[in-house]
Structures are given as structure tokens and as C-alpha cells.
Structure 1
Amino acid sequence: MDIAIRSGYVVPIAAEPIDGGTVLVIDGKITALGRDDEVAVPEGVPTVDAAGRWVLPGFVEAHGHLGVHEEAEGWAGQDTNEMTNPNGARMRALDAINPADLGFADALAGGVTSAVVKPGSGNPIGGQTVAVKCWGRSVDEMLIRHPVSVKSALGENPKRVYGDKKQLPSTRQGVAAVIRDAFAKAQDYRVKRDHAADEGAPFERDPGMEVLVRVLDGELPWCQHTHRADDIATALRLADEFGYRIVINHGTEAHLLADEIARRQVPVISGPLFTTRTKVEVRQRTLANPGILTRAGVKVAITTDHPVVPVSFLVHQVTLSVKEGLEREQALRTITLNPAEIMGIDDRVGALRPGLDGDVVIWSGDPLDVMSRALRVYVSGREVYAYDEARRRGEVVDPYYREDGEDREPEGAA
């Protein structure tokens, strides 16, 4: 799709803002960016006047459950956790996403155009994550990249799930043991597989082991659900032992180990931040966490963990983090370029620059102002959301409603 958004206050994220700038999208990709007088718009390309508005890349939700934990669906739409095996490495969130989940529409209304959808935290090894756009008829149409990481969990959740079943793991040491055992077996599997390949011998493949070998080989990061500082230390210890790339997810007490996390260059996906202290391991939840980590030199993304916090509130978590010490200059990076880089999709999304997807949002003003709203949202140059002021004021009624109380048949109905 082609579109030229002109005369806005353009915030590319990876470059300085442009007042009176143009973003040109051709065939779904950004092809030019600059001042209005610097960007030639080809004849026939639709133009949108963004004067007086802010123009930003679509936000990136780095850790959510859109489509797998559906809203307003109860158990029927709950496909987040396959809690029948502590090692779910072969599971794929990709296979459980419903594009009709109401959460995707909410995401667009909040300026969120991309999300990394992850299995839940009920298992020590939860499964493979996937990056998708927040608009499309099928997950295949929405796909950015699969897999982008493997989800793992430490702490209370897997301990509770399997403790209730009276099976391993029912303690923190048991959870760590499941992960350690799985990687030890993956190391052995890799040796046997490679030897068979060298010998030209038949070999029985194991989909779960294949995924864990990709983690060991550095192809896929290990997204580690962990809240408490002692669990974060265990996560770092396991990563040191097996040499894989780790991303701390949630990191509620990460500020207590900020220097150690920074020294290891481990990124943190912080959040959700709009919650009460619902369990012991989140007692230290604080909106100051992103700012403390950023000042220590940690690359930080902020997450809603949708539906724990509605995905449309992603930017508001950033606003309150700024209030609690996150540097204003770093704030928008935590929901754009940082999550894209952390999850390895920055070649597609996370900024406005030539070559990236044309995922662009026109805001009424500064997104960090809670009174600002996303007015128009584009995914790959296609307009997929437009704010309806008249409907908000109640001036638009159901098109099938008649004042005489009778239902009106839609045009063309049989």
C-alpha cells in the first residue's frame, strides 16, 4: 500500500524529530523520510495532512498474549499454557493465535501495531514465541517472524502448577532442575544428531530438542519469566552454565541487581506496571524499575503482559515510568526500537526509516500526554484504524436501528 503522511511532527525514534516532515510509504515499506520540501511524493500516491499532529512508528508490545488469551471468551479462548508437561519446547504460540481476539483491535487503538506473542508462565519451558502485526485475517498474514525466542518461567507459577499436581517441579530447585535437565539432554542430542549427519546415518528427530539446540547455538534468545531477585540470579546462573542468550521478562526486582544485569548486557522487558501486588514475588513492583535499569545501562522495553494490563495502556505505563524517573529521551524507545532490537525484529519495525515496514501512527499530540490519542493507524501503509470522534460523543447509532423500534434489514440482506 502507498501513502504519504505530510507536514507532521515526525518522531523517527532512531533519529532527531522533524517538524514539518513527510513519511512516504510505497508498497508497504518506508521509502523516504524528511522535511516536506525534501521528499518528492510520486503522482497518484494518496496524501494525508498531519499538520499539528505527531507522527511515530507503531508501538511494539514485547511480551503479550494477544490471540492466545482471548478477551471475553473464558476457557474457550484460553490457549496460553499447555500445562501437561513441564517441558513445552515444541509448543508454538503461532498455532493458537486467533486474529479475531478483541485485544488486537484494542492494540491498534493504542497505537500498538506489532506484538511478540508468548506462551504463558505455567511451565518451566513454555514454548516458542512469535512476532505478529496486530492486523490481518489469519496469523500467517500477520506474521513478522517465527520463532523469535523460547519462553521459560521461574518462580511461583510453575511451582504452583506442578505442586498442585504433586509432581516435579514443586519447588524452585525443581523448576531449575527441569530446565537444566532439558539443556543437558539437548547438548547430548546435538552431538548425536551431528554425528549421524557426518556418517550419513538415519536419525530420529525430536522437535523439542531441535528448538533447545537452536537456543544453545545462539539462534534464539531465552525469554525468562522471572520476578524475584533470587530467581533472576538463578536465571543468570543457568544462562552462564549453558551459554545461551537470555532476556529477562518482567524483572520486578531487577532494579536490585541492576549493575549485575548491565555488566552481562542482559536486556529486561519490564512490566506489567499497572497491577496490584497480587502475589509474593511482585511485592517490590515499582514504576521506578525502568528508570533505575536504564540509568544502570540496561536496555529496557516496557510491557503490558496483555491481558494482565490492557494492551492499549502500553504508552501510559511509559508516561508514569517517566514520572518515576525514566529519562524522557529514552521513554519512547522502550515501546518502539528497544523491544524490536531485543526481540530481533528491528529490520522490520520499531522506527521510521527507509526500508522498514510502513507501520505509522498519527497522534493528536505527544503520546506521553495521557490526553493524546492515536487518530490514524497504518500497517504496511494500509489504514487499519481511524478514531471516530462522532461515535465517542454518541452521535453515531447502530445502522440497523429504527426509531419506530423495528430492526432495519442491512442493505442487500436476503
Structure 2
Amino acid sequence: MKKLNKINSILFLLCISLSFAQQTPAPKQSKTIAIVGATAHIGNGTVIDNSIIVMEDGKLKNVSDATMSKIDTSAMEVIKANGKHVYPGFIVSNGTLGLVEVDAVKASNDLSEMGSFNPHIRSIIAYNAESKIVESMRPNGVLLGQVVPRGGRITGTSSIVQYDAWNWEDAAIKMDDGIHVNWPSSFSRGRWWLGEDPGLKPNKNYGKQVKELVDYFNESKSYNKGTKGESHIPYAALAGIFDGSKHLYINADDEKGITDAVNFAKSQGVSNITIVGGYQAGNVASFLKQNNVSVFLQRVHTRPELEDDDYDYTFKQAKKLVDTGVLVALEPSGQMERMNSRNLPFYAGTTVAHGLTKAQALQLITQNAAKIMGIDDAYGTLEVGKSATLFISEGDALDMRTNIVTKAFIDGRDISLETHQTELWKRYSKKYSSQD
């Protein structure tokens, strides 16, 4: 009976998997493709109104003004895109796509590990390339992302992937790009569900928690400088942030926490630093600029946290930082962050309504994200020699009313834009359109 139940369970899971099968990853680009006539948004601030973009062997061979270029396209596959727009693939910073499929199903959740100090935990090996959530990003032009573990003081090591692959090995663009740290909060809120005052209070353990982090880094540094007679995998995992080969991403929101975190990283000799979240980063923008610290700015579509904050506080933080010269990218973390990753272009669009130009807003989810993650040599902009990772939209991709993606390419591969959601939409559209 137990054996029969086990077989039934396997068959049930197989049926579920087949009924919602992911789209097959696209084959390698086999012929030269030219996109002609579209408005090309390069991603570095440049816009070409009437462009010709040539893709060959997964790379951009030509990106120029069609009125100024004489290119023979007779032997190419030509995509006529007059009146449409071409953008580099959008990049999710500080995301968890592919680590959780269904929050309520423990077996599909690989978001965090036990323990507080886990620099050796690698998110890439837990990444599920066949996630139905991942494929649902592509119809909005979100084609790349950083996969970040959560939980603990040092959460682990992130990697960067592209969103059309058979497995994590195929998906990986840059493995183990950086270490992620949750900086202690200098304030805490009372647990209202236990009858405590929900207001902000100083964190009495702040100094102790910071010291624990300092001690751990010092011990790791000593280990990596020593003979390493006895293996210590967590300490060894931190070596890259000391020699500059890895990035240090520090989750910190309050002004004091951000300042203390940067000073801590500098005192440890860390050169590549990014503040993640950065709710009050705008208050210390000059300090961040002076220390060459970049910011993954928290989700734009969130409410102000403090009673004295302006109603549009979160909407205008990006402009405040950009105007100061801080390198900024947008990230979607928070409640329902995996679902909200698909709204990345619309977060950028909101910053346009609050001061940034469209070109600046586009950079927040393309060039700037690529620069911070260290993949700007191949991704983030539409420039000759870089990866042909881009998409064609019917209109402005930062506006949810007009971002209608008709074609998308990852490394020159013509990827599917179908998802289980679009399949259901088509199914029920036929049902109701056929009724009298």
C-alpha cells in the first residue's frame, strides 16, 4: 500500500509538471538578424530614433542610425519595427527568483539556510531555471537577474543569471559575484501582536551585534592571510571581498546604519560596496558619493515608513541619489518580491514622474545594474560587441499601458514569451468570446 501511494504521488506530481510545463529554452542563434526602423534606447542615455540593429552569433554587430548607415540586409532575417521601441534586457537586482516557487510549500522553498553567518552558501546551485515565476518575467522585458539568498547576518553568495535556460549551469552569467550582509538595525519596533508599543525604539543590542560582525570579518581576514592548515569554508568564502574579486552588498535602511556599514566595510579594506534597500540613503547621498558606494534602492512602490516622511518619499529617492552622482539601480525586495520583479520597468517609470528623465530611469534597470554587478562588459546597453540581449516593445517599456513586448532575445536567441499565465489568458479568452 505504501509503495502504491508513493507511485500515485509521483504520477500526480508528474501530471502537475506536464500541465504547466515551462517553455523550451530557445536554440542558439543560427542566422544574422536585423531589426530595422525602431527607436533604440541604448541604455547609456542615448536614443536613436530610426535605428538598425544587427545581431550575429549572439552578439551585437551593428547599432546605428538607419538613415546614416548603408547595410545590406538581403541575406539577413529582417524584423521591421517601425514605430516600435528596442531596449536592452532589464536586470533584476537583489532578487530571489528561482529560489522559491510556492511560499506555502516548504519543498519548493530554498531561500535561506540555518545559522547567522553563511558566506559560503551559494544561491546559484539552488536556482530553479524551470521556475514558472521566472518565465513570467520575460513578457515585461525582464531578462536577467541577480539571485540572492536571504536569512541570517551574512546570508550567502549571489550569482547572476539569464532567464531562459535548462538548468542553473546554462543560466549562469556570473557566478558568486558577491557576499550579502544584513546590517543590524539601530532601531526596532515593538511587537504589537504581543501588546507592545509598535513605535520605534533604540536597539539595545546594536553595539553587540555590530561587534559580532566585526569579529567575524577579522577572524576571516586572519584565516585567509594565514597558512590555512585547517579548512574553514565560511571564512574562505569571504576572501574575495578582501582582494576585490567579489562585491559586498550590505542591507541597511536607516541613516546611522548606512553610515556605520560603509565605515565598517572601509575599515575592513573592502573596495566594492553597495548599500541594499537604502530607505534613508538620500539623507547621506554626499557621504555615499565620497566613498564611491553604490545603491540598490528599495522598491519604489512602497509607502513611507515614518510619520514625518513626505507622501512621495519613496518615489523621489532615486532622483535625490542620481543628482548627487551616486550609482543607483532598482531592486524589488519586500512583500511578494518575486511577483513584483516583473514590475521593475514600472518602478523606473515612476521615478520619471518624480524628476528623472526617461533615459536616467532606464539606466536604473539596465546599465547601472550591470555596472554594479560587474557584467557591463557584456550586458546592460545596446553597444557593438555586447550580448544581443534585448526586446522589442510596441511602446514605452516604462509605462504599463504601452509595454507590450512582441520579441525578446537573450544572447541572440529568439526566446518564447509564452507563460502559463498567457496560456490561461488565451484559453479563457476563447471560452468567453465563443459564448453568445
- Shorter-chain TM-score category? 0.7 to 0.9
Q: Distance in 2 between matches of 1:333 and 1:91?
A: 30
- Helix, strand or coil at the partner of 2:49: strand
Q: Distance in 2 between matches of 1:45 and 1:354?
A: 17
Equivalent residue number for residue 267 of structure 2: 241
- For residue 234 of structure 2, the aligned residue among 208, 211, 227 is 208
Equivalent residue number for residue 218 of structure 1: 244
The gaps in structure 2 that reach 5 residues or longer are: 1-28, 190-202
Equivalent residue number for residue 290 of structure 1: 318
Q: Distance in 1 between matches of 2:173 and 2:326?
A: 26
Report the residue type matching 1:273 in the other structure: V
Q: Bigger shift: 72-81 or 318-327? A: 72-81
- Cα deviation code 1:326-359 (max 9, x no counterpart): 3444111000000000110111210001111111
After superposition, the Cα gap between the structure-2 partners of 1:134 and 1:392, relative to the gap in structure 1 and judged at 3 Å, is closer
Q: Distance in 1 between matches of 2:418 and 2:78?
A: 18
Matches within 5 A, 1:50-61: 50-61=81-92
- Helix, strand or coil at the partner of 2:384: coil
Q: Bigger shift: 32-41 or 221-230? A: 32-41
Q: Distance in 2 between matches of 1:217 and 1:386?
A: 41
1:317 Cα offset (Å) = 0.7
Q: Distance in 1 between matches of 2:133 and 2:310?
A: 28
Q: Distance in 1 between matches of 2:341 and 2:72?
A: 34
Equivalent residue number for residue 105 of structure 2: 74
1:12 Cα offset (Å) = 1.1
- Helix, strand or coil at the partner of 1:182: helix
- For residue 206 of structure 2, the aligned residue among 172, 177, 180 is 172
- Helix, strand or coil at the partner of 2:54: strand
1:190 Cα offset (Å) = 2.0
Q: Distance in 2 between matches of 1:258 and 1:180?
A: 24
- Helix, strand or coil at the partner of 1:287: helix
Equivalent residue number for residue 200 of structure 1: none
Report the residue type matching 2:179 in the other structure: V
Q: Distance in 2 between matches of 1:106 and 1:89?
A: 30
The gaps in structure 1 that reach 5 residues or longer are: 161-168, 197-202, 404-414
1:251 Cα offset (Å) = 0.3
Q: Bigger shift: 271-280 or 235-244? A: 271-280
After superposition, the Cα gap between the structure-2 partners of 1:41 and 1:132, relative to the gap in structure 1 and judged at 3 Å, is farther
Equivalent residue number for residue 19 of structure 2: none
- Cα deviation code 1:208-246 (max 9, x no counterpart): 222211111111110111111121112112112101121
- For residue 134 of structure 1, the aligned residue among 151, 154, 163 is 163
1:170 Cα offset (Å) = 9.1
1:32 Cα offset (Å) = 1.1
Equivalent residue number for residue 280 of structure 2: 253
- For residue 377 of structure 1, the aligned residue among 408, 412, 417 is 408
Tell me if structure 1 keeps the 8 A contact 2:345–2:399. Answer: no
After superposition, the Cα gap between the structure-2 partners of 1:39 and 1:176, relative to the gap in structure 1 and judged at 3 Å, is farther
- Helix, strand or coil at the partner of 1:114: strand
1:155 Cα offset (Å) = 3.4
Q: Distance in 2 between matches of 1:26 and 1:258?
A: 42
After superposition, the Cα gap between the structure-2 partners of 1:312 and 1:39, relative to the gap in structure 1 and judged at 3 Å, is farther
Q: Distance in 1 between matches of 2:206 and 2:100?
A: 26
- Helix, strand or coil at the partner of 2:213: helix
1:191 Cα offset (Å) = 2.1
Matches within 5 A, 1:72-111: 74-82=105-113, 84-111=114-141
- For residue 79 of structure 2, the aligned residue among 35, 40, 48 is 48
- Cα deviation code 1:176-199 (max 9, x no counterpart): 223212211122112213xx7xxx
Q: Distance in 2 between matches of 1:177 and 1:328?
A: 43
- Helix, strand or coil at the partner of 1:10: strand
Report the residue type matching 1:363 in the other structure: S
Equivalent residue number for residue 364 of structure 2: 334
1:43 Cα offset (Å) = 5.2
1:47 Cα offset (Å) = 1.8
After superposition, the Cα gap between the structure-2 partners of 1:189 and 1:393, relative to the gap in structure 1 and judged at 3 Å, is closer
When the two chains are superposed, the root-mean-square deviation of aligned CA atoms in Å is: 3.0
Equivalent residue number for residue 22 of structure 2: none
After superposition, the Cα gap between the structure-2 partners of 1:239 and 1:393, relative to the gap in structure 1 and judged at 3 Å, is closer
- Cα deviation code 1:74-106 (max 9, x no counterpart): 323221121x22110110000111112222122
Identity across matched positions, percent: 23
- Helix, strand or coil at the partner of 1:265: coil
- For residue 31 of structure 1, the aligned residue among 61, 84, 87 is 61
Q: Does 1:112 align with 2:112?
A: no
Report the residue type matching 2:145 in the other structure: A
- For residue 93 of structure 2, the aligned residue among 23, 46, 62 is 62
Q: Bigger shift: 66-75 or 36-45? A: 36-45
1:33 Cα offset (Å) = 1.0
After superposition, the Cα gap between the structure-2 partners of 1:170 and 1:178, relative to the gap in structure 1 and judged at 3 Å, is farther
- For residue 190 of structure 1, the aligned residue among 213, 224, 234 is 224
After superposition, the Cα gap between the structure-2 partners of 1:178 and 1:4, relative to the gap in structure 1 and judged at 3 Å, is farther
Tell me if structure 2 keeps the 8 A contact 1:56–1:362. Answer: yes
After superposition, the Cα gap between the structure-2 partners of 1:396 and 1:4, relative to the gap in structure 1 and judged at 3 Å, is farther
Q: Alignment length, in residue pairs?
A: 380
Equivalent residue number for residue 407 of structure 1: none
1:362 Cα offset (Å) = 0.4
Report the residue type matching 1:142 in the other structure: A
Equivalent residue number for residue 7 of structure 1: 37
Equivalent residue number for residue 315 of structure 1: 345
- Helix, strand or coil at the partner of 2:226: helix
- Helix, strand or coil at the partner of 1:132: strand
Q: Bigger shift: 3-12 or 148-157? A: 148-157
TM-score between the two structures when normalised by the length of structure 1: 0.84
Q: Distance in 2 between matches of 1:331 and 1:129?
A: 25
Q: Distance in 2 between matches of 1:115 and 1:75?
A: 23
- Helix, strand or coil at the partner of 1:179: helix
